[in-house]
Structure formats: C-alpha cells, structure tokens
Amino acid sequence: MAVEAAQRGVFTIGVGDHGNEVGFGRIADAVRDVMPHGRRCQCPCGGGMGTAVATDVIFPAVISNWGVYAIEAVLAFLVKDPNVMHSPKLEERIIYACLNAGGLEAMYCSNSFVVDSTQGESSVAVVQLLNDLVRLNLQGPTTGVAH
C-alpha cells in the first residue's frame, strides 16, 4: 500500500521495531549494517524485507504496535478527542482475537499472550497510559496543590 500511496502522492508513515517493517526502505542501508539480522528477513513466513519499501516518515519504536499507539495518542490530542484512542479492553481483545485466529506472537512464534517479548498486559498498560496522558492533557486546570 505504501507504494500505491507514493504513486498517488499520499503522505505515508512507516512504524517498525526491528528494521524489517514497511517503511524502513528510507534507511535500508543502515538497517542492513546495524541490525543483527538486517541482511536477512527473520519473518516466520519467510516473506520479503519491508526495507524494500520507503515511506515519507519512518517512526522507529521499541515495539511497533506501541509506536502506532503513540501516533494514535498524538492524533487524539491534536483533534481534542480522547475517543480517537482505543481502550485497554479493546487492546486485550485485539491481541486475543489475533491469537485465536491462528496468529503467532512475532518473537517466539507462539500463541502466548505476548507482544514482541513483552507480556500482553504490558501492551494493555501502554494503551491505558496513553489514554490517561491524552485525557489529562485535554482537561482544563483543576484545583489542588499540584495545579
């Protein structure tokens, strides 16, 4: 889709964590030189490297899902609507739905409640934290010593 978007002049953002995701084509040489497996795809499916596709912006993150959630939080803040964020409960449902549909956790290729080597609860907590940050920063000042 990033290739099609580029052909149509649509702004694109690639979010990734280990260099093999779509978008890392913007820094493909660095990925090949720096990442431990940068010269060979580590995908369980044996598919091609995402480094072949560049996006306008590459947003590296420790865990790509969390990078996307950070962008989601920024958008929620910019449009002043905390409902743009998905909920922690939905995050948990998404992870389980992927696993129940036969998806595998990427680091261990297992069906455990794990997201890129972290417990699923950590992803749920990241979503909660980002929801709180958006909500708190959209609220007006309140009374109290800390305000």
- What is the number of structural domains in the chain? 2
- Per the listing, tokens 């009374």 go with 143
In a domain? residue 67: no
In a domain? residue 5: yes
Rounded mean pLDDT of the chain? 85
Mean pLDDT (whole number) for 62-79:
95
Q: What is the pTM of this model?
A: 0.81
* pLDDT of 8 over the 80 cut: yes
Is 2 in the same domain as 41?
A: yes
In a domain? residue 132: yes
In a domain? residue 146: yes
pLDDT in tens, 131-140: 999 999 998 7
- Per the listing, tokens 């990427």 go with 106
Which domain range does residue 23 map to? 1-60
Question: In this structure, are residues 82 and 135 in contact, taking their beta carbons and an 8 Å threshold?
Answer: yes
d(C-alpha 25, C-alpha 32), whole Å: 10
